[in-house]
Amino acid sequence: MSWKTREQMEADEQLVLAPFAQKSGDSRGRKFPEPRHAYRTEFQRDRARIIHSRAFRRLEYKTQVFLNGTGDHLRTRLTHSIEVASISRTIARALSLNEDLAEAIALAHDLGHSPFGHSGEEMLAQCMQGYGGFEHNEQSLRVVDLLEAPYPDFPGLNLTSEVREGLQKHKVAQASSWQSGASKLEACTTLEAQIANLADEITYYSHDLDDAVDFQILSSDQLEENTVWRQSHASVSTRYPAAREPELHKLIIRDIIDVQVRDVITSSAAALEQAGVHSADEVRRQERPLLRYSEELLTANGELRRFLYKNVYYHPRVAEVNRQACEMLRAVFEAYVRSPELLGDAAAQRIEAEGLHRTVCDYIAGMTDRYLMEEHARLTGVS
């Protein structure tokens, strides 16, 4: 037979994946039971639902760091998510883990992000003080559980428990068996969720640097102050002594990613062997994640993170544009709260169940940068 059924794919996972990988055939299921697909595993179905969602498509017009539309080659939330998914698959394959699950979590991890990047998230959190706050990981869960509505039989995308677990990366995992109704707290998530978390870091460490160099806000002297950049620069210069800009910094970025991924794979493989785990549930019961950097790279990445905040995220060319954009966000939020009839009919119907402020928050969080600016101009007359 030249094709594979879902059952055969699940059998292949049992044979090929590591014992501590999360197998799709062992999924804890979905909140609303559905018949299984003939030719796709549960996590493959989740990946497809995420990619085909409206929230995923809107990521194309949401800021990563530099305001969307200010440069043709700068990252957006969409390209960032695709890059996270690519790195997640690489790490998962090297460690014999479930690539489909890691990729699905990576693709969904920013579905709840607000317009205007982290500055927009901070502004929306300010607007929601006293009304439950705002945090983009929690909002990603709201998107897949409630706000996306493509199916007539249930709200949301009805993703598997394992993908939803992976979206709760800043919280203790809440393990649920939808079938039995049992629930308990677990200290860690699946290894696949841990992969997506680290791949997110690796991606924004490297590609925010890349975009900042393209945007010409980092000098060579500044870059050489940073250990991660300096070490990769030295490595690239040894291998490609004739390399010059603009090719040189692209080679350095590639080397940084390669160093990070290699380090995670080797360090995590050692941690897994030492822990002696034999199942995904044993992984969940660990006191700390088993997917990790080496201590040396962990320290260097902490330095890199501080470098990015000092020299990129708070750079005047970035901060001032984001400040102006966030004032637009605040003005639109306040206008909707004053006049809820300005919301679309679908959003307004949720006010009774969700409350006015949460409904407005959901509506604005789902906007693209472009649409929010258009709404600001429409509501205030100021463009």
Two structure tokens written together for 206: 């490297």
Two structure tokens written together for 133: 């706050």
User: Are 109 and 194 contacting, i.e. CB atoms less than 8 angstroms apart?
Assistant: no
- Rounded percentage of the chain residues whose pLDDT exceeds 90: 80
173-176 and 183-186 strand pairing: antiparallel
- For the chain, domain boundaries: 6-380
299 to each of 63, 66, 91, 273, 304, how far by Cα in Å?
A: 28, 26, 21, 23, 9
Instruction: Give the chain's residues under pLDDT 70.
Output: 1, 67-73, 169-186, 383
CATH superfamily of 6-380: Hypothetical protein af1432 (1.10.3210.10)
102 to each of 85, 219, 249, 312, how far by Cα in Å?
A: 7, 36, 29, 29
The C-alpha atoms of residue 360 and residue 347 are separated, in whole angstroms, by 8
pTM, two decimals, is: 0.93
Residue 173 is predicted with a pLDDT of: 45
Two structure tokens written together for 375: 């709404």
| Residue entry with tokens 């998510």 | 81
Helix, strand or coil, per DSSP, at residue 309: helix
The C-alpha atoms of residue 302 and residue 191 are separated, in whole angstroms, by 22
User: Are 72 and 189 contacting, i.e. CB atoms less than 8 angstroms apart?
Assistant: no
Give φ, ψ of 186 to 5 degrees: -130, 145
The C-alpha atoms of residue 160 and residue 46 are separated, in whole angstroms, by 7
Residue 381 is predicted with a pLDDT of: 85
For 258-268, b/e burial (b = at least 16 CB within 10 A) is: ebbbebbbebb
Helix, strand or coil, per DSSP, at residue 184: strand
Q: Please report, to the nearest 10 degrees, the dihedral formed by the alpha carbons of residues 20, 21, 25, 26 taken in order.
A: 40
Residue 185 is predicted with a pLDDT of: 56
